A and B are shown apart, each in its own frame.
Chain A
Amino acid sequence: MKRDEPENLDLLAAEFVLGTLVGAARRSFARRRGRDPFVDRRVRAWEERFAVLTMRQKPVAPTPAVWTAIERRIGSGSRGAWRALAAAVALVAVLGFGWVVWQELRPPQATAEFASASGETLWHVELAARGDRLEVVTIGQVRVPDARARELWALPEGGAPVSLGLMPVSGEARLALDDRQRAALASAANIAVSDEPASGSPTGAPTGDVLYVAPLTRT
């Protein structure tokens, strides 16, 4: 088929990077990029070539509020200040308390990113260092129909999905984990998001479509 000749694919890749590939064609090409290493390489080659045109633009210093907001969204802004205080108190506190603080300061055990079909990141998920909760940050534009919700699942190796809670539609959420959920996550290579009724799956298993799957990256 003519459309699939390498040169044509390369041109599609160029128009994807340029931005002139639009709508359904753009989304479908983004999906193809995700599963076809040849297409991915072509896209990256054009990204590299054209990046020079971005570097030609005159830099603009962001206002300080941007960095503050980023710190807050990745969970180190106000909580960072609290951690600093906690660390100071720990200096004079008993060893046990120091250990708790040390746990709090550790980086997350694992992270995952859910992306839409067009490659837009929708949620960033972190498994806290102590393994007792998930932090979910909404990054993209999440659209959920009325009376529906998005539910998060651990997909343990060789076992049934285990619900981890409902995903936020905007902003951040903290999902506390019980022992069963922690065990499921420990043996899961992937987590997933499904379409469910507003109050979550009534059965304890996904009832709607599985919309997104993301690998858990252990850190």
Chain B
Amino acid sequence: MAQSASTESEPEIARLLADCARKDRQAFQRLYERTAPQLLACLIRILRNRALAEDALQDVFVQVWGRAGQFEDGRGSAWAWLIAIARYRAIDLRRRETRRATEPWTDVDDIPGDEEPQDSGLAFGQRATAALSRCLGALQPRQRDCIVLAYQGGLTHAEVASEIGEPLGSVKSWIRRGLLALKRCLES
């Protein structure tokens, strides 16, 4: 079940979501089987705790079941829609945890790493992947590192700064300038 999302998965995921909107429970289970491992990796990375991440995964799929009708095929990628729900949920929980305790994460060994850059055209076709990789590659290394760290870890500016041991002001400006450069590159 932990296979990497395949190149052709996007149309299937979009179709399954449309079936979920019609309350097709079999499609929902299939959607879960196809996407839960990828979303769990993302949740663990942000929440840094397997048990919390699995609870969040439950919340995500209960939301997906309730909101599948809001996904409009053609207006965006189904994968991106699912990932957004998972990330916002994890970020919400993480910030709540951080407010409650300064050292919330326990089993850091669980944090999944990246796969080697064999992500050739994963979900959105070769073009989107290649464009983001190319444009990220064109950024200054520190800008790129801060953006990827913030995105994958769900980190705030201050957390990125403490993770890489650089001043908060520099991190803010690297991220802002990096995003501007990324935007220009992706839109060119």
Residues on A with C-beta less than 8 A from B122 are 52, 55-56
Determine how close the nearest CB of chain A comes to the CB of B53; give it in whole angstroms.
Answer: 8
Q: Is A2 an interface residue (CB 8 A)?
A: no
C-alpha spacing A111/B21, complex, angstroms: 10
Query: Quick one: CB contact mask for A118-160 with B, threshold 8 Å, 1 for yes?
Result: 1111001000000000000101110000000000000000000
Residues on B with C-beta less than 8 A from A174 are none
- CB nearest to B130 among chain A residues: A52
Q: Is B142 an interface residue (CB 8 A)?
A: no
Q: Is B138 an interface residue (CB 8 A)?
A: no
Contact A48 B124 (CB under 8 A): yes
Residues on A with C-beta less than 8 A from B67 are 113, 121
Contact B63 A139 (CB under 8 A): yes
- Which of A66-74, A92-100, A179-187, A198-206 faces chain B? A66-74
- CB nearest to A73 among chain B residues: B62
Query: Quick one: CB contact mask for A33-70 with B, threshold 8 Å, 1 for yes?
Result: 00000000000100111111111111111110111011
Q: Is A14 an interface residue (CB 8 A)?
A: yes
Residues on A with C-beta less than 8 A from B75 are 44
C-alpha spacing A133/B176, complex, angstroms: 50
Contact A18 B151 (CB under 8 A): yes
C-alpha spacing A111/B59, complex, angstroms: 17
Residues on A with C-beta less than 8 A from B80 are 44, 47-48, 51
Contact of B151 among A19, A58, A69, A140 (CB under 8 A): A19
C-alpha spacing A107/B23, complex, angstroms: 7
Determine how close the nearest CB of chain A comes to the CB of B59; give it in whole angstroms.
Answer: 6
Contact of A217 among B2, B69, B95 (CB under 8 A): B69
Query: Residues of B with Cβ closer than 8 Å to A?
Result: 1-5, 22-23, 25, 28-29, 32, 36-38, 40-42, 44-45, 54, 57-59, 61-63, 65-67, 69, 75-77, 79-81, 83-84, 87-89, 91-92, 95-96, 112-115, 117, 119, 122-124, 128-129, 132-133, 147-148, 150-152, 154-157, 160, 175-176, 179-180, 182-183, 186
Can you list 19 residue pairs at the A/B interface with Cβ under 8 Å? A19-B91, A19-B150, A22-B157, A51-B79, A52-B123, A52-B129, A55-B122, A57-B38, A59-B4, A59-B112, A60-B41, A62-B36, A62-B54, A66-B54, A73-B62, A76-B25, A111-B66, A121-B66, A124-B65
Contact B59 A18 (CB under 8 A): no
Determine how close the nearest CB of chain A comes to the CB of B89; give it in whole angstroms.
Answer: 7
- CB nearest to B39 among chain A residues: A54
Residues on B with C-beta less than 8 A from A51 are 77, 79-80, 83-84, 123-124
- CB nearest to A137 among chain B residues: B62
- CB nearest to B28 among chain A residues: A74
Contact of B132 among A47, A52, A65, A69 (CB under 8 A): A52
Besides A22-B95, A54-B38, A219-B23, 19 new A-B residue pairs in contact (Cβ under 8 A), listed by A number: A11-B180, A19-B150, A19-B156, A20-B150, A20-B160, A53-B152, A55-B119, A58-B114, A59-B37, A62-B57, A66-B36, A67-B29, A67-B36, A70-B65, A121-B67, A139-B59, A139-B63, A139-B66, A141-B96
Contact A15 B175 (CB under 8 A): yes
Given A18-B150, A19-B91, check contact A55 B38 (CB 8 Å). Answer: yes
Residues on A with C-beta less than 8 A from B129 are 52, 55
Q: Is A168 an interface residue (CB 8 A)?
A: no
Residues on A with C-beta less than 8 A from B22 are 107, 219
Contact A54 B152 (CB under 8 A): yes
Contact B124 A67 (CB under 8 A): no
C-alpha spacing A61/B37, complex, angstroms: 5
